[in-house]
Amino acid sequence: MNQKKRILAVDDEPHMRRLLEISLRQAGYEPIVAENGRDALTQLRENNIDLVVSDLHMPVMDGLKLLEAMQAENIGTPTIIVTAQGEISSAVQAMKLGASDYILRPFDLETLEIAISRALSVTRLKIENQFLREEIDQDSKRLIGSSSAILKVHEAISQVAKERATVLVAGETGTGKELVARAIHQQSLRKDALFVAVNCAAIPSEMLESELFGHERGAFTGAVKERVGKFELADGGTLFLDEITEMPISLQAKLLRALQEGSIERLGSNRPLNVDIRIVAATNRDPLQAIKDGKLREDLYYRLNVFRIDLPPLRERLNDIAMLSGNFLKKRNISIDDSAMHVLQTYAWPGNVRELENVLERAAIVCGGHLIQTQHLPADMHDANNISARQIIKTVDGNEIPESLSLPDAVQTLEINLITEALMQANDNKSRAAKLLNISERTLWYKLSRYQLTNNE
């Protein structure tokens, strides 16, 4: 992060305060001074302080009392204690109270710089480690498949990964949009920094701004300590904003400003923080329709839609199901027989890859950890396949379909007929037609384009 770190120097001697102020400014930091622990505590309550350098002995409130007060008020700002040669025991006590480090008087600028750099690095690592523990199970997941549709996605990822451009990933729920974002990050020049994901639909709107931009202590009721937002956490890396159309319009304006200016402000602060991040956004809606519906700002859409990747639904890459299933089941050392695989490959998968994983996890439990057979799959999957087959036979030009007709062709014909019927019943209202078909509006628009059912109006 390019923003200067703000360091609070606490000492009761004016000469030492001035020396620390000059030294910190020369080292590239933004210094703030306080003459005792009480004044320092006020500064910590009211300002965004990155680190404290405090003398041990001061009137009113000394360094140890300051640490105790910070601990009591849950202020986790890293603190370096300055002490004399004969006071090592006091320095040890300070470390027990939460001090990050201590340095001995007299000290030179280099010693101070090393201590500050070490304390700030440890703080950053603690934040990253906490985040990585939550995300570690995601790293083993990857985009799997060999179909032409998924190979095109891999090609698009390779094209854009090493660029700085923002990326918009569009696809139905469960198609693997986050996996695409992770793949872009892993192939980018930012791969050694963090990949940070935020699901805009899963976080209450009143909390989302704090989640993204962070907040200062006391910024609102319940903000008992400062919070590092996802923008700060992703500095130098990639920020993935999932379900971007679910973000409140008012917050979209702030997001747009952050992207344009390359800086943010925590809630409760007016100090800008510069951030260097790569944005990958995703949506399960048709973005243009979302703009019409007032769900997405048009200017934000154009800012995000520099490079777009469309993810195909699973029903359009049925050949990948065997590979996807094998990858999931090999972790459990379980196999699946041909009949069960046939059911998987002829099912419509409205929930896409996520639904496939859930079905296989259930089947692995039901089969007792051995071989998955047809009877271990959900009954409604068999019913859905049988109903679809019967409907197909009766709906193509009113004639029965020969048994030799391929299933993909028959399914396509059924979809065209059902979409046409739904549009007629809905008076060509796409939103109502999508509800009748029990699919998303984006899916409907995709199929209208694919089957060339759109008019030229």
Rounded to the nearest 10°, the torsion over CA 190, 195, 199, 203 is: -120
Q: Which fold has domain 378-457?
A: Arc Repressor Mutant, subunit A (1.10.10)
Helices (H) and strands (E) in the chain, counts: 19, 14
C-alpha 289/C-alpha 55 separation (Å) is 61
Q: Do domains 141-312 and 378-457 have the same CATH topology?
A: no
Residues 6+ apart with CB under 8 A from 452: none
pLDDT of residue 406: 57
Residues 6+ apart with CB under 8 A from 361: 328
Structurally, what CATH architecture does the domain formed by 319-377 represent?
Orthogonal Bundle (1.10)
The domain 6-134 having CATH identifier 3.40.50.2300: the answer here is yes
pLDDT along the chain (457 residues), means of 10: 78 90 88 92 86 90 91 86 76 83 81 85 66 49 85 95 95 93 94 91 89 85 79 93 95 94 88 91 93 95 96 91 91 90 89 93 90 90 54 45 54 81 83 86 80 61
Structure tokens given for 357: 């994983």
Of residues 147, 151, 54, the one with CA closest to residue 100: 54
Domains of the chain, by residue range, sit at 6-134, 141-312, 319-377, 378-457
* Sheet of 51-55, strands arranged across: 30-34, 6-10, 51-55, 79-83, 101-104
C-alpha 242/C-alpha 239 separation (Å) is 10
How far CA 109 is from CA of 18, 19, 25, 55, 118, in Å, comes to: 13, 10, 11, 16, 14
Of residues 225, 231, 220, the one with CA closest to residue 265: 231
Residue 349 in contact with residue 313, Cβ under 8 Å? yes
Residues 6+ apart with CB under 8 A from 31: 7, 8, 9, 20, 21, 24, 25
Structure tokens given for 444: 């409907």
The domain 141-312 having CATH identifier 3.40.1450.10: the answer here is no
